[in-house]
Amino acid sequence: MGRNTSVKSQFISGVSIFGILALCPIFFPIYWTMILTEILIMGLFAMSFNLLFGYSGLLSFGQAGFFGLGAYATTISILHGVKSIWLAMLIGMAASAIGATLIGFLCVRRDEIFFAMLTLGFGMMIYTVAHNWRELTGGSDGLSLFMVPPIHFFGLEVSLEPPRAMYYFSLIIVAAAVYILWRVIRSPFGLMLMASRENKDRLYFVGANVKNIRLFAFVIAGVMAGLSGALFSLFNHMAAPSFVHWSFSARPVLMTILGGSEIFFGPACGAAIFFVLEQLVTSITENWMIVLGAILIPVVIFTPKGILGTVVSWFTDNKA
Partner 1 sequence: MATRNILIVENLHHQFGKFKVLSGISLEVPEGRLTALIGPNGAGKTTFYNVISGKYVPTGGKVIFDGIDITGMPAYKIAPLGLMRSFQITNIFLKLSVLENVLVPLALHYGKTFSCLTSLGKEKSLAEKAMVILDQVGLKDRAFRPAFELPYGDKRLVEIAIALARRPKLVLLDEPTAGMNPEETERMILLIRNLSRESGTTFFLTEHDMKVVFSVAQYIFVLHQGELLAEGKPSEIRENKAVKEAYLGGALDA
Partner 2 sequence: MESFVVNLLNGLSWGMLLFLISVGLTTVFGVLGVLNFAHGSLFMLGAYLSMWVMHLVPSFWAGLVLGPVLVAVIGMVIEVFFLRPVYDRDVSYQLLLTFAILLVLDDAVRLIWGPGYHVVEAPQILAGVFPLFNHSYPVYRLFLVCIGPVIGGGLWFFFKFTRWGKLIRAAAMDREMAEGIGIRVPLLFTAVFGLGTWLAALGGALAAPHQSIGPSMGERVIIESFIVVVIGGLGSFPGAFIGAIVLGFLEAFGTVFAGRIQMALPYILLAVVLLIRPRGLFGEK
- Contact call for residue 277 and partner 2 (CB under 8 A): no
Would you tell me the crossing angle of helices 266-282 and 306-319 to the nearest 10 degrees? 120
- Contact call for residue 281 and partner 2 (CB under 8 A): no
**Residue 195 binds which entry of partner 1, partner 2, none, with Cβ cut-offs from 5 to 8 Å by kind?**
partner 1
DSSP, collapsed to helix, strand or coil, labels residue 62 as: coil
- Contact call for residue 186 and partner 1 (CB under 8 A): yes
- Contact call for residue 191 and partner 1 (CB under 8 A): yes
CA distance 69 to 104: 14
- Contact call for residue 269 and partner 2 (CB under 8 A): no
Contact (CB, 8 A) for 21 and 171: yes
Residue 304 phi, psi (nearest 5) = -60, -15
- Contact call for residue 282 and partner 2 (CB under 8 A): no
- Contact call for residue 273 and partner 2 (CB under 8 A): no
Closest CA relative to residue 243, chosen from 78, 130, 154? 130
**Residue 110 binds which entry of partner 1, partner 2, none, with Cβ cut-offs from 5 to 8 Å by kind?**
partner 2
- Contact call for residue 83 and partner 1 (CB under 8 A): no
**Residue 124 binds which entry of partner 2, partner 1, none, with Cβ cut-offs from 5 to 8 Å by kind?**
partner 2
Range 110-135 burial, b when 16+ CB lie within 10 A, else e: eeeeebbebbbbbbbebbebbbeeee
DSSP run (H or E) holding 12? helix 3-27
Residue 65 is classified by DSSP as H
DSSP, collapsed to helix, strand or coil, labels residue 239 as: strand
- Contact call for residue 307 and partner 2 (CB under 8 A): no
Beta carbon of residue 184, minimum distance to partner 1 (angstroms, whole number)? 5
Interacting stretch for partner 2, rule CB under 8 A, among 150-158, 188-196, 218-226, 300-308? 300-308
Chain positions contacting partner 2, by CB under 8 A: 53, 59, 106, 109-110, 112-114, 116-118, 120-122, 124-125, 128-129, 131-133, 246-247, 250, 253-254, 257, 287-290, 292-294, 296-297, 300-301, 304
